[in-house]
Amino acid sequence: MENELVKLVNKSLTREELFQKVSQNFDLLPKILDGVSSQKAAIRYGCAKVLMDLSEEYPEKLYHHIDFFINLLDSKYRILTWNAMAIIANLTRVDTDKKFDAIFNHYFNFTNDEYMVTVANVVKHSAQIALAKPYLIPKITLELLNVENISLSPHLTEECKRVIIEKTLKSFTKFLDKIEDKEEVLSFVQKYLDSSRKPLRIQAEKIIKRWK
């Protein structure tokens, strides 16, 4: 399998082909996990993407490795952090040991990150987690409502913040019917009916119409 992974570098093996190989033989999974630590970017990110795709289709096959992905949240490579966020969100569907519950604060603390993409990833995956673990919806809702208080940075401008809030509204739409304190969310949404960002205004209008 090591030789197979090297093929990711010269592109003689695509990530899609590697995905098919592993999905047909999960004994190869440890090698893919090892590949995430490769010094070669093509192998590192190729394996991470394959793991992300596998977690979406076969979460039960990857669940035993959830601690690996939890540790990956703190990778020095931001892309691996984003991959780990997606994988962990996928695994919440089969999280019988409530591993995610134990790292809830750590996961959502990334909304304080200085990079827009990192914050946006947390927001994006929140809906999936909420649907998988509805008992966490009150806590998730509070975290999402707090995104309007995130700090600006050179990598997170006012416009970036508006993009994040737009994504927050999109996440809310996926579990609106399960939110108990709708008034607080509605109050949040109404603030953006006059936003300078058109997609954000449209998203806010959709939610208001849905609730009327």
Helix (H, G, I), strand (E, B) or coil at 11: coil
Spell out the per-residue pLDDT of the chain, length 212, in tens.
Answer: 657 798 888 888 999 999 999 999 999 999 999 999 999 999 999 999 999 999 999 999 999 999 999 999 999 999 999 999 999 999 999 999 999 999 999 999 999 999 999 999 999 999 999 999 999 999 999 999 999 999 999 999 999 999 999 999 999 999 999 999 899 999 999 999 999 999 999 999 999 998 86
Q: What is the pLDDT of residues 147-195, one digit of tens each?
A: 999 999 999 999 999 999 999 999 999 999 999 989 999 999 999 999 9
Q: Per the structure block, which two tokens stand in for 15?
A: 């990530």
The pLDDT value recorded for residue 175 is: 96
The pLDDT value recorded for residue 53 is: 98
Q: Where are the domains of the chain?
A: 1-72, 103-212
The pLDDT value recorded for residue 160 is: 97
What residue has token string 């603030």?
Answer: 191
For the chain, give the mean pLDDT.
96
In three-state form (DSSP H/G/I as H, E/B as E, the rest C), the secondary structure along the chain is CHHHHHHHHHCCCCHHHHHHHHHHCHHHHHHHHHHCCCCCHHHHHHHHHHHHHHHHHCHHHHHHHHHHHHHHCCCCCHHHHHHHHHHHHHHHHHCCCCHHHHCHHHHHHHHHCCCHHHHHHHHHHHHHHHHHCHHHHHHHHHHHHHHHHCCCECCECHHHHHHHHHHHHHHHHHHHHHCCCHHHHHHHHHCCCCCCCHHHHHHHHHHHHHHC
Measure the CA–CA gap between 134 and 85, rounded to whole angstroms: 18
pTM for the model: 0.96
